Amino acid sequence: MPLPLEGLSAIVTGAGRGLGRAEALELARLGAAVVVNDHGQPGRDGSGEASAGPAEQVAQEIRAAGGKALAHCGDIADFAQAGELVDLAVTEFGKLDVLVNNAGILRDRMVFSMTEDEWDSVIRVHLKGHFNTTRFAAAHWRERSKAAGAAVYGRIVNTSSEAFLAGSAGQPNYAAAKGGIVGLTTSTALALARYGVTANAICPRARTRMTEDVFAGFGRPDEGLDPLAPEHVAPLVGYLASPAAARVNGQLLVVHGGMVAIVERPRVRARFDSKQDTFTYDELDALLTPHYADRPAGETFAAAEVLGLKRG
């Protein structure tokens, strides 16, 4: 019986460690040939010298298990290098079928003390990095579809975060980037559906180098798989990359520890209509202030409350 991704090729960014590594190994286990991308900088803030080591190590793991893999240590936040990454997959494997965007960095700071560089660098790697690879992969699929006169096979899996859903006080740059990724995903899903391409986003919760502080108080179990292990997330990525997920498009899914939640698009919670041509301050005060009267001062709306999830 053929494997679900047999004959397909994939790119996974940020695949030298953590979530990306688990996702690359899972795609290879399901039969895909994988380009393992990781810039290889040792600091989770994007600091340190770039290195081919992490990407090559994962590629070697895949090859040792009998799979096909190449390493690429380019910076996906650089437009030209992202194009080179897609070109590498097409040149070496004949085409690109799956793009998993996972690469990211952290530069945490409260909004009142964040520097311009801390803001720009996180937006650059997360949001621009997702756009760069998506742009070149989308062009590849569009050209193939036009040449064939028919739809082609294409899958994009982007990485957002519950920080976008529920907020994260010390991560305004990260939360904004992850929210932007959701907007990029839904826009891409609409634009590429006609070519046979789907685009979805996940909000994973996993213990990695980037989340070591967030989950510092959550101990690892003495036995069995850690509920926060990246291996809980990877199967969903494998599914979304597969032919079985052909009808899943423009979706946002939260995943961790044996749980998957499908997030609805925002719905109107309450509506107020003016009794005249336009609202006045007094009218808005009379309508909106009572509506929020029962909420504790300073409390914000959290979509995670609707999902019954704790913030991650």
- DSSP string across 119-140: HHHHHIIIIIHHHHHHHHHHHH
CA–CA distance, 253 with 107 (Å, rounded to integer): 25
Q: Roughly what angle, to the nearest 10 degrees, separates helices 172-192 and 116-123?
A: 30
Q: What is the DSSP letter of 204?
A: E
Q: What is the pTM of this model?
A: 0.89
Name the catalytic one among 153, 160, 174, 195: 174
Cβ(230)–Cβ(21) below 8 Å:
yes
47 an active-site residue?
no
Q: What is the DSSP letter of 195?
A: G
88's CB contacts (< 8 A; 6+ apart) are 35, 70, 72
Within 10 angstroms of residue 289's Cβ, the number of other Cβ atoms is: 9
pLDDT in tens, the chain (312 residues): 899 999 999 999 999 988 999 999 999 999 999 999 999 776 666 676 777 889 999 999 999 999 999 999 999 999 999 999 999 999 999 999 999 999 999 898 999 999 999 999 999 999 999 999 999 999 999 999 999 999 999 999 999 998 888 888 889 999 999 999 999 999 999 999 999 999 999 999 866 555 555 544 555 665 666 666 778 899 999 999 999 999 999 999 999 888 899 999 888 989 999 999 999 999 999 999 999 888 776 666 554 444 444 433
pLDDT at 131 (0 to 100) = 98
Name the catalytic one among 145, 161, 168, 242: 161
178 an active-site residue?
yes
Residue 14 has phi, psi (to 5 degrees) of 60, 35
Distances from the Cα of 166 to the Cαs of 169, 304, 307, in angstroms? 10, 6, 10
What region, left, alpha or beta, does residue 287 occupy, with left being phi > 0 and alpha being psi -120 to 50 degrees? alpha
pLDDT at 311 (0 to 100) = 38
Name the catalytic one among 168, 178, 195, 242: 178
pLDDT at 163 (0 to 100) = 86
Report which of 239, 237, 154 is spatially closest to residue 203, judged by C-alpha positions: 237
pLDDT at 312 (0 to 100) = 38
pLDDT at 40 (0 to 100) = 79
174 an active-site residue?
yes
